[in-house]
Amino acid sequence: MARLHLVRHGETTSNVMRRLDTALPGAALTDFGVRQGVRFALDNPQQDEVVLVSSQARRAQQTAELIGSVWDVGLEVADGIHEVQVGELEDRSDDDAHGVFKDIVDRWHRGDLDARLPGGESLAMVYDRYLPVVEDLTGRYLTGPGGGRDVYVVSHGAAIRLIAARLAGVDPTFAASTHLQNTGSIELEFVDGLWRLHRWGAVTGPFGTEVDEPLVTDPMG
């Protein structure tokens, strides 16, 4: 059964500096991030034809291009699957900015879809632009007439965790507290109209946790 793989991009200078970097086109990969992209491709060799998609962000496209060069697969760049937009917090690396971001993302994981980052997005806004892309890719490559192909979507840590939690109905405490490293991925399968979670980073289940407060430790990953 074909699967959807949501892959976080490789390391950037902003990741190293803890800088909230969400506006397009964003930072480029570090040398280590380049190696991570190549390593992901080598660690996940493909026997069959796959689909490779990335967000419009520079770091995601670079990561996907590295993966595609190893797999000999072309790249499709999609609008709408970029990182959560932090608005007035953009380019900040101070603890206060991170605290505001963590608080809003924590509220999102608890179900407050309309909580909004200052000058940025709400979770409802992220859903409105990201989920239609997933639906389109699902229809074209997973379930449609030309289906049966694994789809690898190179995107961003906060967005990936929020979207995967929504698709598969993941326990919010698990989704909020389980970090996704650079080039870490979440693997889902669409079965009988429902998404089934197979793997979240290094975790293969159970996908639950007893963590209570605070939920979010690193919203960007």
Instruction: State the DSSP code for 85.
Output: P
pLDDT at 220: 66
Q: How far apart are CA 9 and CA 153, in angstroms?
A: 10
Q: How far apart are CA 209 and CA 151, in angstroms?
A: 28
Across-strand partners of 116?
122
Across-strand partners of 77?
54
Asked whether 3 and 51 are in contact (CB, 8 A), the reply is no
Q: What is the pLDDT along the chain (221 residues), one digit of tens a residue?
A: 789 999 999 999 999 999 999 999 999 999 999 999 999 999 999 878 899 999 999 999 999 999 999 999 999 999 999 999 999 999 999 999 999 999 999 999 889 999 999 999 999 999 999 999 999 999 999 987 767 899 999 999 999 999 999 999 998 888 888 889 999 999 999 998 999 999 999 888 767 654 444 455 566 66
Question: CB neighbours of 11 closer than 8 A, spacing ≥ 6?
Answer: 29, 30, 32, 33, 36, 182
pLDDT at 221: 62
Q: How far apart are CA 175 and CA 215, in angstroms?
A: 9
Report the candidate in 50, 4, 46 with the shortest Cα–Cα distance to residue 146. 50
Domains and CATH numbers, the chain: 3-200 (3.40.50.1240)
pLDDT at 11: 97
3-state secondary structure of 35: helix
pLDDT at 34: 98
Q: How far apart are CA 82 and CA 60, in angstroms?
A: 9
pLDDT at 210: 47
Tally Cβ neighbours within 10 Å of residue 63: 31
Q: How far apart are CA 77 and CA 51, in angstroms?
A: 11
